[in-house]
Each structure stands twice: as C-alpha cells, then as structure tokens.
Structure 1
C-alpha cells in the first residue's frame, strides 16, 4: 500500500480561513465628540 504523500498530508491538515481585515472604518470618527473632550480636559 502506498504511503500518503506530502500533498495528501497538507490537504488533510489544511484549515479553511477567511481574511479578517476590513477596508475602512465601520463608522465615522467622532471629531466633534473628541473636540469637546479635549477642550474639557485642557481647560480644567
């Protein structure tokens, strides 16, 4: 009987994966909120 080849082993061990990166932010950066926080922190 033939022994499993390297290709057979790799096919058996491979795991299906998906890319997990995102191309852009899911929502806009809250500029106004950050400005209010900065003003509050820097003036007190």
Structure 2
C-alpha cells in the first residue's frame, strides 16, 4: 500500500474510535432503559 492509503485508514480509524466513544458516552444513561424495552417489549 502507498502512504496515502495508510494515512486514510488511520484517519478513518481515529474518527471511528472518536465517534464510537461519543455515542457510547452520549447514550450510556439511556442504554439500560432501551435494552430493557428491547428485551421485554414493554
């Protein structure tokens, strides 16, 4: 692979990690309620 491809992969990986952490922190308080509704359907 050339340098640009490696740089693109690194940038995508970094943004994916930041996005995943942001979403996880944003919805952490709502996760258990949502999970409960998904399991029991109530």
Same fold (TM over 0.5): no
Q: Aligning the two structures, in what range does the TM-score lie when normalised by the shorter sequence? A: 0.3 to 0.5
Q: Provide TM-score, normalisation by structure 2.
A: 0.37
Q: Which one has the bigger helix percentage?
A: 2
Q: Which has the larger radius of gyration?
A: 1
